[in-house]
Structure 1
Amino acid sequence: MSYRHASFRTPFALAPLAAALLALPGLAAAADTYDTSTLLGGFNGGRASLVDQGITFRGDYVSETMGIVDGGLDTGTRYTQQIRAGFDLDMGKLAGWDGGTFRFTLNDRRGRSTSADLVGNRFPIQEAYGGQYTRLSEFSYDQKFNEGKSYFKLGFYAMGNQFGSHTLLTNFVNAAFCAHPLAMSGNSGWYNYPTARWGGEFAEQLTKEVNLRAGWFQVNPNLAGNNVHNAFRPGVSGTTGSLFPVELTWKPGAGTLYPGVYKFGAYYDTSRVAKKGLDTSPVTGRDGAYVLVEQKAYTPGTNADIGLVAFAQYMESDTDTAQLKRWYAIGGVWQGVGHRTKDRIALGYVGADINNRLVDARRATLANAGVPTDSPLYALTGAEELYELSYSFQVNPWLMLRPDVQYITNPGTFAYTQTDNALAVGLQAKVTF
């Protein structure tokens, strides 16, 4: 995630967008008996017909309006949005390549950052902020074979869609909870959606419950952040090395009332980078290891979708090169509120420890500048922490509204500043086209 400001060129509100789309001839989803799962409907059966032929179109919109009501650097509100569009080509139906799929995705982000403008913290309050422009996010081919037990994927895509993914946490708004520990991308050449790079992977279903996945991905900083000039230049120069991830997934209890997902992963990045801290000499290699857990903890009846799913995360990164030395999170998601079986309540805590070498280097800088040792500037915190509570209101199959509350403690940790704890409130909206 980048905190650099982006111009706010194409904002629009959710209600006017929906009204305008529904006003178009033949696009009223409620009247379309072929498809009510998307805003645009099934085009009188045309959409389903294309799927039968092997062509599936995808599209969605996310908006996040989050404001600071207490603490931080200033009070106020910021809005950001993401529009994603793409298609999948089923090569089994189109060309007889059973199990093969071509995927193509474009992504557009606009808006301003609540964290950058109003708080200055490391955990982005809006997960949809970062890379505020239109970009190519995927052009790939994947293939299943060996009766679906074996799989490979090649192309230009976001490796975080395949590795280190904790999809239960998409029930939150802050990027610290959004599907991946931030320590992965914060400490190495690992990149998550919408940042794509060249790479490939292979996965094997070892048993009914156990899957092993390994891959190779290009490390190229010129394809990340707000580098708009390279948005459609997948071949741009700047490669610094390769990143090799490996992940073992264990899914006990699949098909029962109490399923679980346990992921054990690690990566090695061959890039040559400067050490963190007082010694900034170059070193080759960055690495990290993680555990991601989610487990159904309580089911009140016979519907496996209803009840509480608990989650936890832990990650360690190498001391020489990491900014976020340790990462840890815990919480739960409850689905089913009264008769609203699709609504969800999510509550979680996440924290990240700054590398002590960075703190020592900052204190040395203050001393060299002649700052008295009794100055409050030396009272540097060791970890930023976040508490978040959200309610996902599933209005219908294609519209979700998510009121959200976040409380950030020690928000100045990674900026080496003393900043008041911040209280953020706001709304996320998701529309599937």
Structure 2
Amino acid sequence: MAITSARDSVPAARATAIALLIMAPVMASAQGTAETAPQSGPLQSLATARQQLKTDGIDITGYYEGNFYANVAGGLKKTNVYFSDLAFGANLDLAKLAGIPGAMLDISIDSRFGGLPQGVNDLTGSSVGYLGGAGPDNQTRLTELTFGQKLAGGALSYAIGRTTLANYFGTSSLYCQFETSLCSNLVPFNWSLDSNEPFYPIAVWAGELKVTPTRQTYFRIGASESNPQQYFGGGFPWNGGWSVAHATGVFLPAEFGYTTEHTGALYPGRYNVGFYYDSSQFTDPRYNAQGGKLAFAGGVPASDGPQSVVYLQAQRVLWRSGNAKGARRLWGFAAAQFGVSGRAPVKSYYQLGAVMQGTFPGRPNDTAGLLATYYVFNQRVTGAVNDEVAAAGKSGHLSNTEAIFEANYGIDLGYGLTVKPFIDLTVNPDQFLFDVPAPNPRIHYALAVGTQLNIGL
């Protein structure tokens, strides 16, 4: 049995997206306030049915995300592109459905279509830039199939199955505000560059254990197969997607955190420190096994062994207006990531940002975000790119640092619809990309603009 990829079924996927657009008021009305939700008619009936399903233990989830992206100055290519991401699934409360105390079964599927087959990173020349359009390719994937359970009143929980483990480490909901990041964790490209742990939506075999000794503290550990082969597999059992034959090692993360978000604090915050280790034997980006430079001598890359990284995160409400649930709040956040062992391509990474929730009086659901990120690449990564420049007969060198800045504004249209225009500036694009055969050292920046349309349940 075979499943067709989203690339082969774009008309059907577009039709589904259009249907979601039409049905957005239906999907969102179940979460609407008493003032916005319809009081009668078919919309209210469908909203009531969805709420009843949730009450019975079946929580339907999903979203459609449409992205328009244009590189308008600098970079490698000046062009624009529109691409789509459609996800849907369900969280099944097995305590209600099957009488298993504290148990959940989570299922989700992601379908990507439109845009460019390789994503959009070769427009700016940044390998760690605009992640929402990174792909990895147009396919329909199983992104989550996990069984989990909370024990001891929630003090102990675990989950096991098919998932992207990195989504649950180094996370913050504030990252979901930005286009140059990805709605899951500390810049997933760092995780996948410095390990072989795939990023969303690629799911592999994994498990996680979380201990919550107090309301303010937690500790979580996990284990996942490192399997970069899955980037171009659909991830379904009938096309070999569940095989571990191509696993390169084991990805092992751990994290300790402290939070005041559930204590009623006027200025809540969250702070954590984490570590991950990948047992894969990573290849050197610049040198072959004999010590020669790959760009000139070719050959088999040298082995650099396993890699490990530590990271730190902090976020806190800096200002607020009002104490009600819809209070306007200004969040500040900062994070850093450092290579510890091996030759991780991203040697260190720093980010600093702010998100305003409720930008103006009367606009409680609008958001505004500012983000600055700074990368320091391993000298062998930059050296490999500079070798490619020299091998192509060009002169000049690329910087081993890169900075990306973003500003955006999320406009809440009601019924689960949000439109978010954004602008981002990349300084010194690294050009560490497979589809850039001849890097150009004269490219020092890229300026991009765009808009995201999001419809969520």
Give me the TM-score of the superposition, normalised by structure 2.
0.82
Q: Which residue of 2 aligns with 1:342?
A: 365
Give how far 1:276 is off.
3.8
CA contact (8 A) 2:382 2:430 kept: no
1:289 aligns with 2:310: yes
Contact 2:257 2:271 in 1 (8 A): yes
> Out of 67, 71, 75, which is 1:68 matched to?
71
Alpha-carbon distance, 1:58 to partner: 1.3
**Number of residue pairs the alignment of both structures matches:** 418
- Counterpart check, 1:129 vs 2:134: yes
Percent of aligned pairs with the same residue? 26
Q: Aligned equivalents of 2:28 and 2:338: distance in 1? A: 50
2:297 maps to which residue? none
Instruction: Write the letter of the residue equivalent to 1:167.
Output: S
Counterpart of 2:146?
140
Report deviation, 1:70: 1.6
| Pair 1:70–1:332, CA change in 2 (3 A) | same
Q: Secondary structure at the match of 1:175?
A: coil
> What letter matches 2:315 in structure 1?
E
1:172 and 2:178 aligned: yes
Matched residues in 2 for 1:285 and 1:8: separation? 40
How big is each residue's C-alpha offset from its partner over 1:180-224, in whole Å with a ceiling of 9 and x where there is no partner? 223112210222221111111111112221100001111112212
Query: Deviation string for 1:359-410 (max 9, x for gaps)?
Result: 334545666x595xxx633x22112211100101111141111111111111
| Aligned with residue 248 of structure 1, among 236, 256, 262 | 256
Moved more, 66-75 or 240-249: 66-75
Give the match's secondary structure for 2:364. strand
- Pairing 1:69-108 to 2, within 5 Å after superposition: 69-108=72-111
Residues of 1 paired with 2:336 and 2:33: CA distance? Answer: 46
CA distance in 2, matches of 1:146, 1:55: 23
Q: Does the residue aligned with 1:302 lie in a helix, a strand or coil?
A: coil
- The superposition leaves residues 324-374 of structure 1 with CA deviations (integer Å, 9 ceiling, x where unpaired) of 11111101001112211111110010121121122334545666x595xxx
The match for 1:201 among 204, 208, 233 is 208
Judged with a 3 Å threshold, the aligned counterparts in structure 2 of structure 1 residues 229 and 148 are, in CA distance, closer, same or farther, namely closer
Name which of 342, 345, 349 aligns with 1:320: 342
Of the three residues 252, 263, 276, the one matched with 2:272 is 263
Contact 2:307/2:341 (CA < 8 Å) preserved in 1? Answer: no
User: In the alignment, which residue of structure 2 is the partner of 1:3?
Assistant: none
Find the aligned partners of 2:347 and 2:234 in 1 and give their Cα distance.
Answer: 30
Kindly provide the amino acid, as one letter, of the partner of residue 98 in structure 2: A
Residue type at the aligned position of 1:358: V
Q: Secondary structure at 2:432's aligned position in 1? A: helix
Look up the SS of the partner of 1:183 in the other structure. Answer: helix
Contact 1:330–1:349 at 8 Å: present in 2 too? Answer: yes
1:376 equivalent in alignment to 2:398 = no
Unaligned segments of structure 1, at least 5 residues: 1-5
**C-alpha distance in 1, partners of 2:329/2:285?**
44
Q: Secondary structure at the match of 1:281?
A: strand
2:3 aligned residue: none
Residue 240 of structure 1 and its aligned partner are, at CA, apart by 1.3
Q: How much does 1:277 deviate?
A: 3.3
Letter of the structure 2 residue corresponding to residue 129 of structure 1: A
Given candidates 160, 167, 187, the residue that maps to 2:166 is 160
**Cα pair distance change 1:319/1:40, threshold 3 Å:** farther
CA distance, structure 2, for counterparts of residue 390 and residue 297 of structure 1: 19
- Displacement of 1:27 after TM fit? 8.2
Contact 2:367 2:410 in 1 (8 A): yes
Which residue of structure 1 lines up, in the alignment, with residue 455 of structure 2?
Answer: 431
- Hey, what's the Cα distance between the residues in 2 that align with 1:169 and 1:352? 17
Q: Distance in 2 between matches of 1:33 and 1:359?
A: 52
Contact kept? 1:90, 1:102, Cα under 8 Å: yes
Say if 1:383 and 1:46 are closer, same or farther in 2 by CA, change over 3 A.
same
Superposed CA deviations along residues 12-60 of structure 1, whole A, max 9, x for unmatched, are 499954664479xx98959x999949x9766162222222221121121
Structure 2 counterpart of 1:308 = 330
Unaligned runs of 5+ in 2: 1-6, 292-300, 434-438
Q: Distance in 2 between matches of 1:204 and 1:198?
A: 21
CA contact (8 A) 1:243 1:267 kept: yes
Structure 1 residues 165 and 349, CA, compared in 2 at 3 Å: closer, same or farther?
A: same
Which one-letter code corresponds to 1:359 in the other structure? T
Q: Deviations over 1:145-200 (max 9, x none)?
A: 10111101111111122112122111011136863223112210222221111111
Asked if the contact 1:276/1:322 (under 8 Å) is kept, the reply is: no
Give the root-mean-square deviation of aligned CA atoms: 3.1
TM-score after normalising by structure 1: 0.87
Which of the two has greater helix per residue?
2
Q: Distance in 1 between matches of 2:43 and 2:83?
A: 23
